[in-house]
Structure 1
Amino acid sequence: MHVLPGNGGAPRAVDRRMATLALLSLLQFLIALDVTVVNVALPTIGARFDAPADSLTWVVTGYTLVGGGLLLLGGRITDLLGRRRMFLLGAGLFAVASLLAGAAPDLPTLIGARFAQGAGEALASPAAMSLIALAFPEPAERARALGIWGAISVGGLVAGVLLSGVITELLHWRWIFGINVPVTVVVLLLAPRLIPADAPRGRSAPLDLPGAALLTAGPLCLVFGIVESAPPAIAAGIALLAAFVVVEARTRHPLVPLGFLTHRVRAVANGVTVLLSAALSTAFFLLTLYLQQVIGFGPLAAGLAFLPFCGALFLAISQVSRLIGAVGPNRTALLGLGLTAAGLGWLARLPDQGSYAVDVLPGMAGVAAGMGIGLIALQHAALHGVTEDDAGTASGVQRSVDQLGGSLGLAVLVGVATDIGGVGGFRRAFLYALTGVVAAAVVLLVAGPRDRKPAAGADPASVNPGGAVPGPAADRPDDAAVAREGEA
């Protein structure tokens, strides 16, 4: 750890660490913001490029598919080539891709830029998580730091919905990407001053490039096949994912050891996450279209209409650690699924000419509360039984599953809505999402772990409220690694 010269060295060192945390969190805020910042702008983008709703899904899923598919590889590259180096490279790629997205002359260019943004996330996020773990080696302060980082990430998801409407109506939809550039430039200028240079590294395990390629290409083929109604592409996607399992079973240094795929508790948590994330992504996407295309809100009003969603989400997040401490992650996740199901059930009855206060707001609040409680409880369950050595892999798998599940669900359910058309299509998509969430609850009830009574004196607040844990395959650094970095 570097201590700046002058009197009061320890406080200055703490100041530097907090400044580093703020800088890393700033970029993560932008990365999370870009998951949702396109939502309210989608009708405007569709009108500009004369694109149907099913094609517009790529503007959302292109980012999350590539980001989720390459996340584990990004962590391994970070281990191999250095944390600061990969953070700067990922941030730079994210900035360039954002500039290209904002200037895109057509929809294919915009989608390609979103792919590149996802690749930037896959490099920067694991590096940032690992840098935080190194800067805060003591377990309690590390948990607090990662909790702040994760909470700011959730804030980015929420802010994206609000800013999308404000920017689209008051400026131009292209600025939803353009705002990333100056902020990321600030990050790039300050990072070398705050983050120590990477220490020399010894020999590292080789990269599982075939596994990473299969994990990215499989979902891409699936989504393409679903969106374009192309059975050969769907079959190819399934075959690629099956090949991924075979490769991971045979390689000496897999991205995902098969133990993480077959461990019952973690497998159930990740499987349920797929279904919940699919439902949540669909709700975000379709509600923004319903508010503008059916109720008649403009982009600004549609963005502001999500303020109650934000309030319900943050209220749920503020209570989830206490719930987990009181009743356990399994029951807490079931509560989250129940609230989500109630919200989706309300939205599945959307009328052809609806009212925001009566027909949208109650369902929106239920989905938001279910999201805040359910996803964080499932993240907790996905780390069941992990050790210091494999926590990074477990968290990386969970984050990838979250993003890939949301992308696949969005492709399937928006496809359903588009095929049927009109508000009837919206209702059918929400009904299918509700069915998936109910199925997830049944799986959790039947196959999930039984919650044990918390140990006496356990601190429920020690559960990370932001869902962030030491990074995907970048792993929590061991003591030797911390010492090497501290000497840099």
Structure 2
Amino acid sequence: MKTNSRWISLLVLCTGFLLIVVDMTIVNVALPTIGRDLRFTPSGLAWVINGYLVAFAGLLLLAGRLADLVGSKRVFLLGLGIFTAASLACGLSTSQPVLIGARFIQGVGGAASSAVILAMIVALFPEPEEQAKAFGVFSFVASAGAAVGLLAGGVITQVVSWHWIFFVNVPIGIATAVLGYRLLPARPGLGLAEGADVLGGALVTASLMLGVYAIVSGSSLHGLLAVALLGAFLVRQARARKPMLPLRLFASLRLSGANTVQALMSAAFLSFFFLASLDLERVLGYGPLALGLAFLPVAVVMGCFSIRFAAALVMRYGAFRVLVAGQLVVMAGLLAVAFGPERAAYARDLLVPMALLGLGGGLCFPALTLIAMSEAPPADSGLASGLLNTTGQVGGALGLAVMATVAAARSAALSGSGTPDLSALAGGYHAAWLVSAAIVLVTLAITVATLRPRATVALAPAVYEEEEAAA
């Protein structure tokens, strides 16, 4: 495949993924308006987010394995079609059940299309240097898309209406699907007979959906049921002749470590966006547009380093060192906001931490993706892609739940001691950011313990040979 065609194909894949990532945050800014228009209760309004999240996180692993069996291009285009059609339904919604149902279907399409993208990038860019550049572009879209969504949500909701945060997906989704059909290479899958473990697929999908439901709703009963189903799935995979998820993948300490780091980094990073948006709105009084603009430095700095510098740094110093450097920078950014003043001035107190978070994300996420995907054999690349996305989503959901609980508990304690309401709110957010910084410190320890470079790696030897030479 010609070099220009490969980079155009990457652009198509990243555009499809940008739709998914932006949709996760663009809705957050519009939630108050949606709640007023459709007369949601606070608990009901949460399911505009949760309905999407349950389907998305629950189906990522199944979609990744399905891509290995029937072909990544088919699964990507099918998912993009479902997501685009569901976006139209969301925009046309005039009642609560229709909107929540359409959001669930959006999650199904989002899972199918996004689960296969990493595997398709690996196939498009087998050479280490080009692969590092491609992962840098992807990681920028994955991480900075959250900030783009907040900005777009603020602009669209304020200028037009909340319906258009969904309608804008339709022409972009159609154009991306047409280009994807024409440009993306079609590689045959292994065939359904090589791993069509229907029972295993049902068990893991039900377990993940119930697990995410338990996290977002705080239901211990559903959490226990999710753990039981996960146990049954693992037993099934150990005994099945052609398992959906070969447990041999987890024999790789590096793959297991990379997925653990992905989950915890996602927990820290995504919970910051959520709580920072609340802090800016409730404590500092930012409107939708100002709130979106506040996160722009994260997107700009992350874009510069993910696309322009990350690949060169990985090739020069190795993925491990770049990952560690990124984690340290993210931790510094979180500590800066955690110990900052409650009535922060943006230019003085928030601009530099936002830039640090963008820099850290631009360094660590491309390097982590490269390490994780290098451990998977080509026949399991779709599954490895789905697994990495799943750990990121489940980690992000768990992180949001935990950090929201930490913030609420600290705010309640401060209010109980006579602290004014706004100060108590700010104190809760700052406490949660401090815990997030501690989580990044844990990921740093896991990285050092499990992801140190070794002499040879099958997929991207040059990256790791650089590391060995520099050691």
| TM-score (normalised: structure 1) | 0.78
State the alpha-carbon separation in 1 of the partners of residues 13 and 373 from structure 2.
23
Determine the structure 1 residue equivalent to 2:141.
153
Alignment of 1:119-158 (within 5 A): 119-126=108-115, 136=124, 139=127, 143=131, 146-147=134-135, 150=138, 153-154=141-142, 156-158=145-147
Alignment of 1:271-282 (within 5 A): 271-282=260-271
Determine the structure 1 residue equivalent to 2:20.
31
Cα RMSD, aligned residues only = 3.7
Determine the structure 2 residue equivalent to 1:240.
229
2:379 pairs, out of 384, 389, 394, with 389
Letter paired with 1:399 = N
State the alpha-carbon separation in 2 of the partners of residues 26 and 307 from structure 1.
19
Q: 1:56 to 1:373 in 2, by over 3 A?
A: farther
Could you tell me how far 1:62 is from its partner in structure 2? 4.3
Task: Tell me, yes or no, if the aligned pair for 2:409 and 2:428 is still in contact at 8 Å.
Answer: yes
Determine the structure 2 residue equivalent to 1:344.
334
Letter paired with 1:375 = F
Determine the structure 2 residue equivalent to 1:483.
none
1:432 pairs, out of 432, 435, 450, with 435
Determine the structure 2 residue equivalent to 1:283.
272
Q: 1:17 to 1:429 in 2, by over 3 A?
A: closer
Q: 1:112 to 1:429 in 2, by over 3 A?
A: farther
State the alpha-carbon separation in 1 of the partners of residues 402 and 189 from structure 2.
46
Could you tell me how far 1:131 is from its partner in structure 2? 6.4
Task: Tell me, yes or no, if the aligned pair for 1:36 and 1:160 is still in contact at 8 Å.
Answer: yes
Could you tell me how far 1:437 is from its partner in structure 2? 1.5
State the alpha-carbon separation in 2 of the partners of residues 419 and 389 from structure 1.
46
Determine the structure 1 residue equivalent to 2:66.
77
* Structure 2 counterpart SS, 1:389: helix
Determine the structure 1 residue equivalent to 2:155.
166
Determine the structure 2 residue equivalent to 1:96.
85
2:366 matched to 1:376? yes
Could you tell me how far 1:137 is from its partner in structure 2? 8.0
Alignment of 1:317-336 (within 5 A): 317=306, 318-336=308-326
1:309 pairs, out of 295, 298, 306, with 298
1:186-244 per-residue CA deviation (whole Å, 9 max, x = no partner) reads 34455555568897996632423333333333343334334433321222222233333
2:400 matched to 1:414? no
Determine the structure 1 residue equivalent to 2:421.
none
Could you tell me how far 1:300 is from its partner in structure 2? 0.8
State the alpha-carbon separation in 1 of the partners of residues 140 and 329 from structure 2.
24
Aligned identity (percent) is 36
Q: 1:202 to 1:326 in 2, by over 3 A?
A: closer
Alignment of 1:442-461 (within 5 A): 442-450=445-453
Q: 1:365 to 1:202 in 2, by over 3 A?
A: closer
Determine the structure 2 residue equivalent to 1:476.
none
State the alpha-carbon separation in 2 of the partners of residues 265 and 241 from structure 1.
22
2:277 matched to 1:294? no
1:411-460 per-residue CA deviation (whole Å, 9 max, x = no partner) reads 22223334554223212322222222122222223344256699xxx976
Determine the structure 2 residue equivalent to 1:115.
104
Determine the structure 1 residue equivalent to 2:209.
220
Task: Tell me, yes or no, if the aligned pair for 1:273 and 1:401 is still in contact at 8 Å.
Answer: yes
> Which has the higher mean CA deviation after the structures are superposed, 89-98 or 64-73?
64-73
State the alpha-carbon separation in 2 of the partners of residues 195 and 447 from structure 1.
35
Gaps in structure 2 of 5+ consecutive residues: 412-424, 467-471
Determine the structure 2 residue equivalent to 1:63.
52
User: How many aligned positions are there?
Assistant: 447
Q: 1:196 to 1:362 in 2, by over 3 A?
A: closer
State the alpha-carbon separation in 1 of the partners of residues 132 and 305 from structure 2.
18
State the alpha-carbon separation in 1 of the partners of residues 426 and 50 from structure 2.
23
Could you tell me how far 1:268 is from its partner in structure 2? 1.4
State the alpha-carbon separation in 2 of the partners of residues 447 and 142 from structure 1.
25
Q: 1:443 to 1:101 in 2, by over 3 A?
A: same
Determine the structure 1 residue equivalent to 2:353.
363
State the alpha-carbon separation in 1 of the partners of residues 275 and 390 from structure 2.
23
Determine the structure 1 residue equivalent to 2:343.
353
Q: 1:235 to 1:444 in 2, by over 3 A?
A: same
Task: Tell me, yes or no, if the aligned pair for 1:274 and 1:402 is still in contact at 8 Å.
Answer: yes
* Structure 1 counterpart SS, 2:193: coil
Could you tell me how far 1:462 is from its partner in structure 2? 12
Task: Tell me, yes or no, if the aligned pair for 1:25 and 1:152 is still in contact at 8 Å.
Answer: no
Q: 1:357 to 1:56 in 2, by over 3 A?
A: farther
Task: Tell me, yes or no, if the aligned pair for 1:321 and 1:462 is still in contact at 8 Å.
Answer: no
Task: Tell me, yes or no, if the aligned pair for 1:29 and 1:152 is still in contact at 8 Å.
Answer: no
Q: 1:383 to 1:47 in 2, by over 3 A?
A: same
State the alpha-carbon separation in 1 of the partners of residues 449 and 139 from structure 2.
31
Q: 1:390 to 1:229 in 2, by over 3 A?
A: closer
1:119-158 per-residue CA deviation (whole Å, 9 max, x = no partner) reads 1123234566666777x58757984895587267346444
1:372-421 per-residue CA deviation (whole Å, 9 max, x = no partner) reads 22222222222354443344433332222112211221122223334554
> Which has the higher mean CA deviation after the structures are superposed, 144-153 or 67-76?
144-153
State the alpha-carbon separation in 2 of the partners of residues 71 and 439 from structure 1.
26
Could you tell me how far 1:282 is from its partner in structure 2? 0.4
Q: 1:315 to 1:194 in 2, by over 3 A?
A: closer
Letter paired with 1:41 = A
Task: Tell me, yes or no, if the aligned pair for 2:22 and 2:148 is still in contact at 8 Å.
Answer: yes
Q: 1:281 to 1:17 in 2, by over 3 A?
A: closer
Gaps in structure 1 of 5+ consecutive residues: 2-12, 464-488
